[in-house]
């Protein structure tokens, strides 16, 4: 079972916060992600199976994602978001330092937006 760090955003602006978390995730090769935008996208299977489509999704934000990263940035686990808006799924069990680094990175990304969040990490 994977370890997942779930994020619940208290906004507004929730959409902008999700976009900032997507930008953060691109540079975190030790994780993949899911969020409410992707989970509800009719073309989710296309994003999962076509790196070019994934690159177009992130390019529209705009976020520059290398083709290699496109193949593993979106979670394939099938875990549901539930009450959360976003999650980071760790490829290996994270250390406490990695989780703390994630919290600091999220703080930096979301501070300019003025929204709050909670982070819950579960194995």
Exposed, middle or buried: residue 121 (CB in 10 Å: 0-12, 13-18, 19+)?
middle
| pLDDT at 101 (0 to 100) | 97
Alpha helices by DSSP H, listed for the chain, are 14-26, 36-39, 44-49, 51-59, 67-70, 96-110
Q: Are 17 and 112 in contact (CB under 8 A)?
A: no
pTM of structure = 0.94
Strand, coil or helix: what is 41?
coil
| pLDDT at 45 (0 to 100) | 93
Can you say how many angstroms the Cα of residue 87 is from the centroid of all Cα atoms in its chain? 5
| pLDDT at 67 (0 to 100) | 86
Q: For residue range 90-108, list pLDDT tens digits in order.
A: 999 999 999 999 999 999 9
- Band (79; pLDDT cuts 50, 70, 90): confident
Structure tokens that stand for 109 in this block = 């990304």
pLDDT of 12 > 80? The answer is yes
Percent of the chain beyond pLDDT 90? 89
Mean pLDDT of the chain: 94
Residue 62 falls in which region: left (phi positive, over 0), alpha (psi -120 to 50) or beta: beta
| pLDDT at 78 (0 to 100) | 85
pLDDT of 109 > 80? The answer is yes
Q: For residue range 14-38, list pLDDT tens digits in order.
A: 999 999 999 999 999 999 999 999 9
């Amino acid at each position: 079972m994977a370890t997942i760090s779930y994020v619940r955003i208290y906004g507004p602006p929730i959409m902008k916060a999700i976009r900032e978390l997507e930008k953060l995730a691109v540079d975190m090769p030790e994780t993949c992600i899911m969020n409410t935008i992707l989970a509800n996208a009719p073309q989710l299977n296309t994003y999962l199976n076509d790196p070019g489509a994934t690159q177009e999704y992130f390019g529209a934000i705009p976020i520059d994602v290398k083709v290699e990263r496109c193949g593993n940035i979106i979670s394939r686990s099938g875990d549901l978001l539930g009450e959360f808006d976003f999650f980071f799924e760790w490829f290996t069990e994270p250390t406490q330092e990695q989780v703390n680094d994630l919290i600091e990175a999220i703080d930096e990304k979301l501070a300019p937006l003025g929204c709050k969040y909670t982070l819950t990490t579960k194995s």
